[in-house]
Structure 1
Amino acid sequence: MLLFISFLIILAILSMKVSARLGLPLLIGFILIGILVGSDVLNWFYFDNALLTKQIADILLIFIIFDGGFRIPRNVFRSVAGPSLTLATLGVAMTAVALGLLIHVILGLDLVYSLMIASIISSTDAAAVFMITNANPIKPKLAATLNVESAANDPMAILLTVTFIQIVNKAFGSPVIAVLSLIWQFVGGVLLGFVCYKISALFLQYLRSENRGSYHVLMIGLILMTYGVADLVKANGIIAVFFLGFFLGNYNFPAKRSVSSFLESLSTIFNIALFIMLGLLAFPHRFVFIWKEALIIVALMMFIARPLAILLSTIPFGYSFKEKLFLMWGGIKGAVPIVLATYPAAQGMDSNGFIFDTIFFAVFMSCLIQGTTLGALAKLLKFTEPRKPPLPYSIELHSLHLSEYDMIEIPVQATSPYKNTPISRLNLDKDMLITSIVRDGNIILPKGNTIIKENDILFLLAPLSKINDINRIINLKP
């Protein structure tokens, strides 16, 4: 078993390189690995337990969605908060309702059953969207809109799915109770995310451990605590951990960069595990029975439901038609819909596997079609920007206490008035210090007569209060 797991991990990492070169969402590579070693192909590992999949996936999603919130900067969130959160809430609801009605009319399925299926596939995939926007640098406004929406819209899809499952099972006494429960789950999740953030900030501030690993373990405990408290009071734990991640990601605490790297690794591991597990759960030979319905759902979603939701949700926010067109095509589906597709089976509502197989096939086609063409569409519409070279080094300031200083990276742009001038002529304050320079992949120790060149990356130790001014000083004003 350990040899088998090691083989899967190595194969998954190799698939990441292949997926990046081919421009494919990582989801496709990981799921294909699961299908390959699963029951229908090599039959190395038989797995068909939807209930266990749901239980494991729920735990993995806690950390994946927390990390999504953790990486959203406050200024980016504010710049697109209106349209992104509207798309992540109202947009998801509109997509689910429009798609559900179309499924009901065209496929002839029961209305509530159709709305449940539409809710399952109504959210977009953060991992796929992040990979594509990173691989194809897109204008900040559009990239931030898609990134924040994809990171924030999973909770609404989860809420709608659970709500319709409960309606089908007659768990609610009336629609009013269903609506009130939906409102409380969302509002309660946001409130608990903020309250737990305040508690977490105190723990992180006063831990003062010399071992960075202590902060990593503490973070795991804080995330699980937030989810557990939300579950205890019947609020939505996914929403709570997302906003906990957002607030902590914009809070300065000791060993933050180390914790950030740890969370990135954890999210990568859990994404790989989640996608491979979902691939194992798939039985491709059953697709022959549902491929027509799945293709109809994909077409309705991509060309009617999502565009309609985008057009209506972005009315107050001044997006051009070209920008709306790009946002329409950016509704790439991913892991969460596949996970949600296991919920009906876990409730005994999908005995023949129709829901799971249909959603799985639809998600795969969305990734394959939209995921591989979104970057090309951005170039066609002229929404891309020059790619920034990867940084070969990282320097972190590790402090056991909160500090007013931090280490930042500043690239010297072609427009900088200081290029080809010595460091001594930079108009930096006395409390700012250039600690090192990265040039052509090598580290240079700076001196007063060291010449600043275009494309240099400067590592500066500076007060947190002045970080926003440093890039302006170096790149804009002499």
Structure 2
Amino acid sequence: MVNTVIHTDKFILFAALLLIAGVITTKFSKRLGVPALVLFIIVGMIAGSDGLGFIYFDNAHFAQLIGIFALVIILFEGGMQTKSSAVKKVAVPAFSLATLGVLLTTAVVALAAKIILGVDWLEAFLFGSIVGSTDASAVFTVLKDKNIQERLETTLEVESGANDPMAVFLTISFIQLIVADQPNFLFMIGSFIWQMIIGLIIGITFGKMASATINRINLDSSGLYPVFALAFALLTYSVTALIGASGLLAVYVAAMVIGNKELTYRQSIIKFNEGFAWMMQILMFVILGLLVFPSQLFTFNIILKGMLISFILIVVARPVAVFLTTIGMKFHLKEKIFLSWAGLKGAVPIVLAIFPMLSGIENSQLFFNVVFFVVLTSALIQGSTISLFAEKLRLTGPVKITPHHSLELISIGKANAEIVECQVSEKMAIVGESLTNINFPKDVLINAIIRGNDLITPTGETKIMTGDILYILVSRQSKHELKQIINKQKTGSLITEV
């Protein structure tokens, strides 16, 4: 009994230390210009049996479970912050990249794997399927707070959120072809159509249902709303996956639906999901780092093969996919070059590389090691140079303003009111107007204004300036009217949303 308690206490201690190390590495990642996911993986490798020997971990089943759970959370957080108006503009190229782009990437990499790894054709296509998709966790992490042009950034985010189903489908299909005596190709095509269509339908349905339920239910604590929203994400994935459709696609679509609705305690839900997504990223990449053995990974054979495949993937396969699938979609040469370079690999290929290990495929360990090396190469080379590429190609947009302040919003319990946060842009009609000249509803109160690093207590004569962040107390009945006033442009039209 005592030994069990001590073992549990040690586990909790190591979990705390790993999370602290993961959080600290995010600070160093910005200074070093290296994506945080690389440092998370390194933390896991150092803590593992081939490093300091703190933890011996080789449980592929558990790593797969954590990986999929983390991807659900990450996709939900990313989808929540994706604007539907932006998605409509890039839907065709993004979904073209997410489907045909993955197929083309898989085919080119399969040819390389056949030659470099010396495997048969089915195994070569299995390897190509594993590394064929752009990874959502890597893209969301690397592009966050970067001033990339909105069209390009949204294209990459939607592609990475929507292409996981294609990669999962191809990986599972080629595993079935390898292990099955008489594979059914027609069944595989029907399965893909089922996964995509049903995943899309369930995502939209559950997203609408979650939004309506969150807005109508009256919970005793505001802290329960983020948990309630997260429960819908897990429910969406599990229900969809259990009927054989794409759970990851359903979660991403549901999150976009929820994120673009008027939502009670919206900021609380978003902030909670953002923090939880970071925690799951840390946990996922640290565990994936624990799963790999550096003594097996950093051998001349793996390094040489990994570098060759990485080169072909980055310089040949991804550009071929981008240039062919975006024909006639009004992307100019520089934009296509950037989209080619930004095809980041991350957690999804590593998680998918576990599937052949669990299925007993002959070269599964070789695949896992090479995939791991390819992901590290992609994250280090591509992930650390995305901003530089965008600047050199002159594809940067307005600098994103990240407030360096914190305003704790106090729950108003069951009162029929909430606090809205609004960042003022130069196009808004309220810029330059004093508060007394703005026709706010009677039950609206401007609580505070953040201007630069200063907190301003508003009066009737206070003028709204570009870049101000307003914290507004409003009844839920007047929230829609308030947003119409805030979102009105100087020309008289409405912008999408603050």
Who is 1:72 aligned against? 82
Q: Distance in 2 between matches of 1:236 and 1:418?
A: 44
Who is 1:348 aligned against? 360
Q: 1:448 to 1:217 in 2, by over 3 A?
A: closer
Query: Does structure 1 residue 119 correspond to structure 2 residue 125?
Result: no
Write the deviation string for residues 364-388 of structure 1: whole angstroms up to 9, x where unpaired.
0011111111111111111123423
Q: Which of 362, 373, 387 is 2:399 aligned to? A: 387
Offset of 1:431 from its aligned partner? 7.7
Q: Distance in 1 between matches of 2:445 and 2:110?
A: 58
Q: Distance in 1 between matches of 2:400 and 2:466?
A: 13
Q: Distance in 2 between matches of 1:124 and 1:251?
A: 27
Who is 2:55 aligned against? 45
Q: Which of 230, 237, 260 is 1:250 aligned to? A: 260
Q: Do the aligned residues in 2 keep the contact of 1:48 with 1:281 (CA within 8 Å)?
A: yes
Q: Which of 132, 147, 160 is 2:157 aligned to? A: 147
Amino acid aligned to 1:8: L
Q: Which of 358, 368, 373 is 1:361 aligned to? A: 373
Q: 1:309 to 1:445 in 2, by over 3 A?
A: same
Q: Distance in 2 between matches of 1:459 and 1:65?
A: 28
Greater shift, 149-158 or 214-223, is seen at 214-223
Q: 1:474 to 1:60 in 2, by over 3 A?
A: same
Q: 1:127 to 1:34 in 2, by over 3 A?
A: same
Q: Distance in 1 between matches of 2:417 and 2:83?
A: 19
Write the deviation string for residues 398-435 of structure 1: whole angstroms up to 9, x where unpaired.
6889989872413254x888766643345767786544
What is the RMSD of the two structures over their aligned residues, measured on CA atoms?
A: 2.8
Unmatched segments (≥5 aa) in structure 2: 1-10, 494-498
Amino acid aligned to 2:371: I
Who is 1:7 aligned against? 17
Q: Distance in 1 between matches of 2:276 and 2:182?
A: 37
Q: Do the aligned residues in 1 keep the contact of 2:102 with 2:166 (CA within 8 Å)?
A: yes
Q: Following superposition of structure 1 onto structure 2, how do residues 322-341 of structure 1 map, counting pairs within 5 Å?
A: 322-341=334-353
Q: Do the aligned residues in 2 keep the contact of 1:66 with 1:242 (CA within 8 Å)?
A: yes
Who is 1:32 aligned against? 42
Greater shift, 428-437 or 129-138, is seen at 428-437
Who is 1:373 aligned against? 385
Offset of 1:475 from its aligned partner? 9.3
Who is 2:435 aligned against? 423
Q: Do the aligned residues in 2 keep the contact of 1:69 with 1:245 (CA within 8 Å)?
A: yes
Write the deviation string for residues 173-213 of structure 1: whole angstroms up to 9, x where unpaired.
42111111111111111112122223323432332112123
Greater shift, 445-454 or 334-343, is seen at 445-454
Amino acid aligned to 1:160: L
Query: Could you tell me the percent identity over the aligned residues?
Result: 34
Query: Does structure 1 residue 313 correspond to structure 2 residue 325?
Result: yes
Q: Distance in 2 between matches of 1:404 and 1:81?
A: 36
State the TM-score, normalized to the length of structure 2: 0.88
Offset of 1:43 from its aligned partner? 1.1
Offset of 1:18 from its aligned partner? 0.4
Q: Distance in 1 between matches of 2:487 and 2:319?
A: 38
Q: Distance in 1 between matches of 2:265 and 2:468?
A: 26
Who is 1:20 aligned against? 30
State the TM-score, normalized to the length of structure 1: 0.91
Q: 1:148 to 1:119 in 2, by over 3 A?
A: same
Q: Which of 91, 94, 103 is 2:101 aligned to? A: 91
Offset of 1:8 from its aligned partner? 0.9
Q: 1:198 to 1:343 in 2, by over 3 A?
A: same
Offset of 1:307 from its aligned partner? 0.3
Q: 1:202 to 1:132 in 2, by over 3 A?
A: closer
Who is 2:70 aligned against? 60
Offset of 1:252 from its aligned partner? 2.2
Q: Distance in 2 between matches of 1:397 and 1:250?
A: 24
Q: Which of 422, 436, 456 is 1:409 aligned to? A: 422
Write the deviation string for residues 420-462 of structure 1: whole angstroms up to 9, x where unpaired.
6643345767786544211232221211212444543334556
Between Structure 1 and Structure 2, how many residues are aligned? 476
Q: Distance in 1 between matches of 2:430 and 2:83?
A: 28
Q: Which of 406, 431, 438 is 2:450 aligned to? A: 438
Q: Distance in 1 between matches of 2:429 and 2:223?
A: 43
Offset of 1:293 from its aligned partner? 1.5
Q: Do the aligned residues in 1 keep the contact of 2:199 with 2:249 (CA within 8 Å)?
A: yes
Who is 1:464 aligned against? 480
Q: 1:215 to 1:159 in 2, by over 3 A?
A: same
Q: Distance in 2 between matches of 1:231 and 1:134?
A: 29
DSSP 3-state at the match of 2:450: strand
DSSP 3-state at the match of 2:486: helix
Offset of 1:131 from its aligned partner? 3.4
Who is 1:225 aligned against? 235
Query: Does structure 1 residue 301 correspond to structure 2 residue 317?
Result: no
Q: Do the aligned residues in 1 keep the contact of 2:429 with 2:489 (CA within 8 Å)?
A: no
Q: Which of 196, 204, 210 is 1:200 aligned to? A: 210
Q: Distance in 1 between matches of 2:29 and 2:192?
A: 38
Greater shift, 303-312 or 119-128, is seen at 119-128
Q: Distance in 2 between matches of 1:379 and 1:389?
A: 18
Q: Distance in 2 between matches of 1:86 and 1:399?
A: 45
Q: Which of 219, 223, 226 is 1:209 aligned to? A: 219
Query: Does structure 1 residue 267 correspond to structure 2 residue 277?
Result: yes
Q: Distance in 1 between matches of 2:456 and 2:333?
A: 47
Q: Distance in 1 between matches of 2:463 and 2:216?
A: 42
Q: Do the aligned residues in 1 keep the contact of 2:218 with 2:414 (CA within 8 Å)?
A: yes
Who is 2:91 aligned against? 81
Q: 1:473 to 1:192 in 2, by over 3 A?
A: closer
Q: 1:327 to 1:403 in 2, by over 3 A?
A: farther
Q: Distance in 2 between matches of 1:253 and 1:354?
A: 47
Unmatched segments (≥5 aa) in structure 1: none
DSSP 3-state at the match of 1:315: coil
Q: Distance in 2 between matches of 1:139 and 1:441?
A: 26
Offset of 1:354 from its aligned partner? 0.2
Q: Distance in 2 between matches of 1:30 and 1:67?
A: 19
Q: Following superposition of structure 1 onto structure 2, how do residues 105-184 of structure 1 map, counting pairs within 5 Å?
A: 105-170=115-180, 173-184=183-194
Query: Does structure 1 residue 187 correspond to structure 2 residue 187?
Result: no
Offset of 1:127 from its aligned partner? 3.1
Q: Distance in 1 between matches of 2:253 and 2:167?
A: 16
Greater shift, 429-438 or 297-306, is seen at 429-438
Write the deviation string for residues 343-382 of structure 1: whole angstroms up to 9, x where unpaired.
1001111566101000000110011111111111111111
